[in-house]
Chain A
Amino acid sequence: MNKALLTLSIMILSGSLLAQESPITPRAERIQISEGPEVPLVGGYLTVIRWTVNNPGGLPVHYGVVHYGTDPKNLSQTAKNPIRLNPYHSSTVFRVNLYNLAPKTTFYYTVKSMDSRGKSDGVTSLMKTFTTQ
Chain B
Amino acid sequence: MREKRLIAVMIVCAGVAAALLFSTRPISAQNHEHEKGEPPFPLYNPYPPGILPANLESEIARVLREIDVIEERAIQRWHSLPLPTRLATRPGPNPPVLKDTGTESIETLGELMLFDKNISPGRNQACTSCHMPYAAWSGPIPSVNLTIIAYPGTVHFRAGKRTAQRHTYAPFFPVLQYNQEQGLFFGGNFWDSRATGYRLRDPDAEQAQGPPVDTQEMGFPDTACVAFRLSQAVYKPLFEVLWGKNSLDIKFPQNTEEICETPGGAAVFGGDPEPIKLTPEERTEANTVYDHWGASIDAYEQSTQVSTFTSKFDAMLKGNYTFTPDEQAGYNLFNGKGNCNSCHVDGRGTTLKPGQTDTSTTATANPPVFTCFGSANEGLPLNPRDAFYYQTTPDSFGFIGNPFGFGYRDLGMGTFLRSGFGSGPNPNRTWIQFAPMVDGQFQVATTRNVAMTPPQCPTTEAGTGKPYFQKEFFHNGYIKSLKQLVHFYNTRDTSFAKNVTSGHCPEGTIERVTCWPMKEVPNNLDTTTGMLGLTDTEENQIVAFLETLSDGFTSPYPNSDTFTGACMTCNPATDPNCSPSRQGNGELIPTPPLPPCASAICGVAPVPSPPIP
Q: Which A positions have Cβ atoms within 8 angstroms of B?
A: 8-9, 12, 15, 17-23, 40-41, 43-46, 48, 50, 59-61, 64, 81-90, 94-97, 99-100, 115-118
Contact = CB atoms under 8 A, between A and B. Distances in A.
A17 B347 contact: yes
Interface of B: 174, 181-184, 186, 335-336, 339, 341-343, 345, 347, 349-351, 359-360, 362, 365-366, 368-369, 371-374, 376, 493-495, 497-499, 522, 524-528, 530-531
B526 A86 contact: no
Contacts, number: 122
A116 B441 CA distance: 15
B505 to A, nearest CB: 12
A95 B493 CA distance: 10
B362 A88 contact: no
A20 B347 contact: yes
B5 to A, nearest CB: 52
Contacts of B493: 41, 46, 48, 95, 97
Contact of B527 (A12, A44, A89, A95): A95
A90 B350 CA distance: 12
Contacts of B350: 88
B360 A21 contact: no
B430 to A, nearest CB: 16
A95 B531 contact: yes
B499 to A, nearest CB: 4
A23 B494 CA distance: 30
Nearest to B360: A12
A43 B362 contact: no
Nearest to B368: A20
B360 A97 contact: no
Nearest to A99: B522
A96 B371 CA distance: 24
Given A45-B498, A48-B531, A116-B183, 6 more contacts: A12-B360, A60-B184, A83-B527, A88-B335, A89-B351, A99-B499
Contacts of A21: 186, 345, 372-374
A97 B527 contact: yes
Contact of B349 (A12, A41, A81, A118): A12
A108 to B, nearest CB: 21
B254 to A, nearest CB: 51
A61 B527 contact: no
30 contacts: A12-B360, A17-B362, A18-B347, A18-B366, A20-B371, A20-B372, A22-B342, A22-B343, A23-B345, A41-B494, A41-B495, A41-B531, A45-B499, A46-B497, A59-B183, A60-B184, A60-B374, A61-B184, A81-B525, A81-B527, A82-B527, A83-B528, A84-B374, A86-B341, A89-B336, A90-B351, A94-B527, A95-B531, A97-B527, A117-B181
Question: Which 6 pairs, one residue from A and one from B, show the smallest C-beta to C-beta distance?
Answer: A84-B342, A95-B527, A45-B499, A81-B527, A117-B183, A116-B183
A95 B342 contact: no
Nearest to B377: A82
Given A20-B371, A60-B374, A86-B342, A12 B526 contact: no
Given A46-B497, A61-B182, A9 B359 contact: yes
Contacts of B341: 86, 88
A46 B369 CA distance: 35
Contacts of B525: 81-82, 97
Contact of B351 (A17, A45, A88, A100): A88
A123 to B, nearest CB: 17
B182 A88 contact: no
Given A46-B493, A99-B522, A20 B499 contact: no
